Amino acid sequence: MSRKKLTRRQFVAATAMSSAALITAPYVRGAYAAGKLSIGFWDHWVPNANDASTALVKEWADKEKVEVSIDYITSNNNKIQLTVAAEAQAKSGHDILQMPTWWPHAYSENLEPLNDVMEPLIKQNGAVNDTVKYLGQAGGKWLGVPATPGSQIKGPCSRIDLMKKLAGIDVQEMYPVGGPPKADNWTMETFLKAAEACQKGGSPFGIGLGETTDSVDTAGAIFQSFGAELVDAKGDITVKTDAVRQALEYYKKLIAFLPPDAPSWDDASNNKWLISGRGALILNPPSAWAVAKRDAPQVAEQCWTHGMPSGPKGRFAPFLPYFWGLWSFSKNKEAAKSLLTHLSQPSSIEKFVAASGGYDLPAYANMTTLKTWAEEGPPKGTLYHYPNPFNHQTLSIAASPAPPKIAQQIYFQATLTKMALRFAQGEKMETTLAWAEGECEGFMRS
Amino acid sequence: MVLRPTVRMHLRSRPIWPTAHSTSHMKAHVMADIVVEQGRAVRTASKRKRTSLRNAMGRKSTVAFFLTLPLILLIALLVLYPAVYSVHLATLNKSMQRFVGFGNFTFLFNRDTFWMVVKQSCIFAVTAVFFKALMGFIVAHFVHNIPAKGQRKWRGMLLVPWVIPPAMSTLAWLWLFDPSYSAFNYTLSFFGIGPINWLGDTSWARFSVILVNVWYGAPFFMIMYLAALKSVPDQLYEAAAIDGANWWQKIWFITLPMMRNIIAITTLFSLIVTFANFDIVRILTSGGPLDRTHLFATWAFKVGIEGSDIPLGASVSLFMVPILAIAAIFILRDVNKRGNEA
């Protein structure tokens, strides 16, 4: 048996060549040649909506020969937030992890910049709104890619019949299917009058005053429509301003017309309020309507999702985007970026929106007139104005424009609803403001 | 009597678990107690065997150590490591990149909300433990007086609240208290009372979380007190009856003194668990309205997880340690004192 001897030079040359080949050709087409990718997606409320994500990922994985694993993580009881915190701390876990609103900023140090993914996507799908930029960008660096699944606007969902009967407002005429809103008279004052009329008629507006996100989001939009900021964009405390005082005065009037137990409401309470047929309006994404469709069809067919009323400083709607973040400790960043681009293609976005029955909202300007929203029902077109197709309201998040790390504290400590409640329960205006100022000082920690 | 100190000393050097070695030692002590003059001789005899005995003991303790090793490792992993790690976390700044020493604690001391949480935790724990003990004491007496035949089924039924996972039973309570569809309010409406804003009004919300905690914890006291009651000799009550004592005097002069240690220890245990309560408040009120039902654990969660300020959350939860340590020292010192008196 002849045996050729390998010289040292040959060995070095062969090693160098094979290393170079390995480095320069990561996408070799073999079964799973491009490595593994592990993904943590938000577990969708809407039954079977996760299937769209699974199918899209699989489609990409088969094409790119990447072995993928997906975990669907619920946001119930903050499970997804706990996972984000744990993985950031352990510096290991999923490659891509979906995170809600404030989390990209909270863990910005551990996230891979995604400008090379976002810039082409914006060119292709249209601009993203300011809230997405505010929550998803830090110092010009994109911390995450706005995820369509889970992103939502918490605007009004009104009862067509009750609003017409008790408040004399035709919400369908104000927000017609296929046309721009005729909502010039839909102001905070009209809203207050309608709240009073509906309360007197026995179907009060279902707006919570608790510490969970729905209550805080409403408070945020109302404060913003008066131009009230507790902390401004520079990080200065601006609690003791006329705008904040006006917002509190307004809230006090509104609270008088809300259910007396609103201070203990959580995110499920307003849904129950609408579905049980007790209220004329709630501020929520169409999940309550979707449940009503199943459990109380006679209520669902009277629901109309539309825009927020405008205040002295504009019309603001609470918007809560989700992001797909890529950990800086991920071992397969290139594959992850390729997947994120795939998930943000118009065709993928359309699938997400359809699978969620119109609940999910893309962040891009060109993607707000998909046919799902025009066709969903009953009543047909109830979701047409949900994605803000005519840009007639500013999508914002409570506590903005404070620097996100401070705003996150204001948001989760529910400082806005607490202020409103304190003042409405008889505390002096200046005492409430002093309390809020003290709270905000505490939120300045870095 | 002269030899007593020596005996004590020997007893102390005994291993905790009974071994062949220790029994032989005990025999030696007995001998020494009886035959005073031979004490010296006995000790020299045992000296000769000591080397081999020590080896045997060494081997046994090694085996014992290895047998307990899994538990020690488990405790180290699940208790010791998280405890040390949370101390470490509490010394970092918000972004966990810088050491700030006691900075987080000094920050907390300047926050009104923090002091409110301290106050509320104390009110919650003390009130809940007091009522749990009171209810447990009363119910234990009732159960004790049920004839032995039917007692088991009552004991079983009364333990149910304590056996159901609290997260589940609290959900049931949440429905009972539900702001809009409260079963309690519905019932009360028949008597012309209400509607009561169970979880939306600050005072009622505090009442409700304490009520659920008492409901959940009282059976534990009941079963402990029942065991204690059963161990009180009947002769004491008979003697008291002969002396003409009424029921109150029997409780005050016999039952309570005989149960003192059990009461102290159950109180301490319950105080620790109640202080650290999370699930009941989290499910019922999430700390609201206006933070008036927050406890250390729920506020720590709010600050640490929801507010992404893990070091501050760790500091809040660590603040329970000194409070509970002081309570433990007082209660356990009392147990020792009474033990010696007896």
Q: Which helix (H) or strand (E) holds A124?
A: helix A115-125
Q: What is the mean pLDDT of residues A267-289?
A: 89
Provide the pLDDT for residue B145.
Answer: 86
Burial of B117 (0-12, 13-18, 19+ CB in 10 A): buried
Compute the nearest-CA separation of B208 from chain A (Å). Answer: 12
Q: Is the pLDDT reported for residue B180 higher than 80?
A: no
Determine whether the interchain pair A442/B291 forms a contact, defined as Cβ–Cβ distance below 8 Å. no
Q: Is the pLDDT reported for residue B107 higher than 80?
A: yes
Contacts of A212 in chain B (CB under 8 A): 286
**Chain-centroid distance, C-alpha B211:** 19
Both tokens assigned to A320: 């809560």
Q: What is the mean pLDDT of residues B29-53?
A: 49
Contacts of A273 in chain B (CB under 8 A): 180
Provide the pLDDT for residue A32.
Answer: 56
Provide the pLDDT for residue A12.
Answer: 75
Q: Is the pLDDT reported for residue B25 higher than 50?
A: no
Q: What is the pLDDT of residues A119-137, one digit of tens each?
A: 999 999 999 999 999 999 9
pTM of the shown model = 0.78
Provide the pLDDT for residue A242.
Answer: 95
User: Helix, strand or coil for residue A147?
Assistant: strand
Compute the nearest-CA separation of A124 from chain B (Å). Answer: 34
A189-198, A250-259, B286-295, range with the lowest pLDDT: B286-295
Largest Cα separation within chain B, whole Å, is 88
Cross-strand bridge partners of residue A144: A325
Whole-number Cα distances in Å, B244 to B145, B256, B266: 21, 18, 32
Q: What is the mean pLDDT of residues A403-430?
A: 92
> φ and ψ at A148, to 5 degrees?
-70, -50
- Strand A96-100 with A281-283, pairing: unpaired
DSSP A77: G
Per-residue HEC secondary structure of A169-185 comes to CCHHHHCCCCCCCCCCC
Contacts of B199 in chain A (CB under 8 A): 261, 264
Q: Is the pLDDT reported for residue B240 higher than 60?
A: yes
| Residues 6+ away with beta carbon under 8 Å from A49 | A149, A352, A355, A356, A357, A359, A360
- Assess contact for B196 and B137: CB atoms under 8 A: no
Provide the pLDDT for residue A399.
Answer: 92
Q: What is the pLDDT of residues B278-303, one digit of tens each?
A: 999 998 888 878 889 999 999 999 88
Provide the pLDDT for residue A73.
Answer: 93
Check CB contact of B131 with chain A, cutoff 8 Å: no
Compute the nearest-CA separation of B291 from chain A (Å). Answer: 9
> φ and ψ at A316, to 5 degrees?
-120, 135
**Which ipTM did the prediction report?**
0.74
| Residues 6+ away with beta carbon under 8 Å from A416 | A216, A219, A220, A223, A230, A398, A399, A410
Cross-strand bridge partners of residue A324: A98, A145
- In chain B, CATH 1.10.3720.10 sits at 104-341
Provide the pLDDT for residue A287.
Answer: 85
Q: Is the pLDDT reported for residue A445 higher than 60?
A: yes
Residue of chain B nearest A423, judged by CA positions: B290
Burial of B194 (0-12, 13-18, 19+ CB in 10 A): middle
Start-to-end CA distance of chain B, whole Å, equals: 20
Check CB contact of B150 with chain A, cutoff 8 Å: no
How many Å apart are CA B225 and CA B263, to the nearest integer?
Answer: 8
Provide the pLDDT for residue B13.
Answer: 39
Check CB contact of B145 with chain A, cutoff 8 Å: no
Provide the pLDDT for residue B36.
Answer: 40
Does the structural domain B104-341 have CATH classification 1.10.3720.10?
Answer: yes
How many Å apart are CA A344 and CA A125, to the nearest integer?
Answer: 9
Alpha helices in chain B (DSSP H): 4-13, 20-34, 39-75, 81-90, 103-109, 112-145, 148-163, 166-177, 183-189, 202-230, 234-242, 247-250, 256-275, 279-284, 296-301, 310-318, 320-341
Q: What is the pLDDT of residues A339-357, one digit of tens each?
A: 999 999 999 999 999 998 8
**Preferred mutation among A109, A445, A446 to probe B, highest tally of B CBs within 10 A:** A445
- Assess contact for B217 and B270: CB atoms under 8 A: yes
Q: What angle do CA B238, B243, B244 make, to 5 degrees?
A: 95
Determine whether the interchain pair B302/A412 forms a contact, defined as Cβ–Cβ distance below 8 Å. yes
From the DSSP assignment, how many helices (H) and strands (E) are in chain A? 20, 11
Contacts of A107 in chain B (CB under 8 A): 308
Torsion of CA B25, B30, B35, B36, to 10 degrees: 80
Mean pLDDT of the residues in chain B: 80
